[in-house]
Structure 1
Amino acid sequence: MSRSVLVISGPNLAALGSRQPEVYGTQTLAEVHDQVVTEGAALGLDCQCRQSDDEAQIVAWLHEAAAAGSDIVLNPAAFTHYSYAVADACAHARSRGSRLIEVHLSNPAAREGFRQVSVVAPVASGTVAGFGARSYLLALQALAGPESTGRQRAQAR
C-alpha cells in the first residue's frame, strides 16, 4: 500500500518556466509535477500535486492532509516569509502526525534579507532548498527513506 503525499505549491509557481528563469529554472510547474508523480511512484508514494495563489486554499489543503494522515511537501513560496496562517496549519498537520517537508527552488538564505526568514521552517520536519525542481524530489526521497517506516517513522513525528 502506497503512502499518500500531498504536494502543495504556493503563489506564483504556476508561472514557472517563464518567471525569472535565471532564479527558478525553465521547467514549468506541470513538468515539475509530472516528475514528482513519477518519482513518488518509484518510491512507493502516492503523490497528489496542487498549486494555489490563495492562502486560504493552501490552509484548507493542509488541514485536509492532516485529517487524512497524509505527509506533505510544501513550497510555500512568498507565504514562507509572513503567513502565520500557513505556519499554524503546518503545525496542526504535524500535531496530527503528518510529516512536512518545506521546499524551495532557490536558496532563500542566499537571497534578499526578507527571504531569509521562514515562519514555516520551525514547524516543518525538514527543509530542502536551492536545488531547483530537484528540491521536490529530494523531499520525496526523505519521506520514503528507511527511517520513515514502522516504529522509527512514528518516533520521527
Structure 2
Amino acid sequence: MITNIAPHIFVSSYKHIMSNDHVEPPASKPQTYHAVIHGALALCALILAAELFSGGQLPASSEFQILDLLQFVILQPTLETIVFQFAVFRFLRTVRLSYFLIVGLSALAFTVSHLVFDPNAPLLFIAFAGTVLAYLYYFWLKRNRRTAFVLALLVHSLYNYYLLYA
C-alpha cells in the first residue's frame, strides 16, 4: 500500500518544483521606474542626513583603494542586506509581527551592529539609515522580492561609495 503512494507523492512534488508557480514574474516597466525613483529618493535622504549629522565634515579618502571598494561598497552592503533585511524580514514574517515592528527591529539590528564595530559612530544617523533601508526593503517586498533586495542593496552600496569617496 505504501509503495503505491510514494511514487505519486514524488511525481506531484516534482511537478510542483518544476512548475513556475513559485517564481515571481519580472517587474513591469512602470514598477521598475517607480523603484528607480524610490531608490534615488532614499539615497538622497541618506546623503542629506549624512551632511546634516556630520556638519559637512565627512571624512574623505585621499586615495582610491580597491580593497576599500570591495569591502565597503560590495561585500558589506551585500552581507548587511542579506542579514538585516532579507533574513530579519523572512524570520519575523513567519512569527507574524506587524510590518511596523519588523521595520523597527531590522533598523535596530542594523544600528546595534554598526555601533558594535564603531562605538564612535553617530547613533541617530545610523538609526536613520537603518530605518530608510528597512522601509525601502519592506515597501518593495510587497511588490517583488527581487526588486526589494536589489534596491536595498544598490542604495546601500551607492551610499557607502558616497561616504568613502565624496
Task: Using structure 1 for the length normalisation, give the TM-score.
Answer: 0.30
Structure in which a larger fraction of residues adopt helix: 2
Task: Using structure 2 for the length normalisation, give the TM-score.
Answer: 0.29
Greater RCO between the two (CA within 8 Å, min separation 6)?
Answer: 2
Q: Which has the larger radius of gyration?
A: 2
Structure in which a larger fraction of residues adopt strand: 1
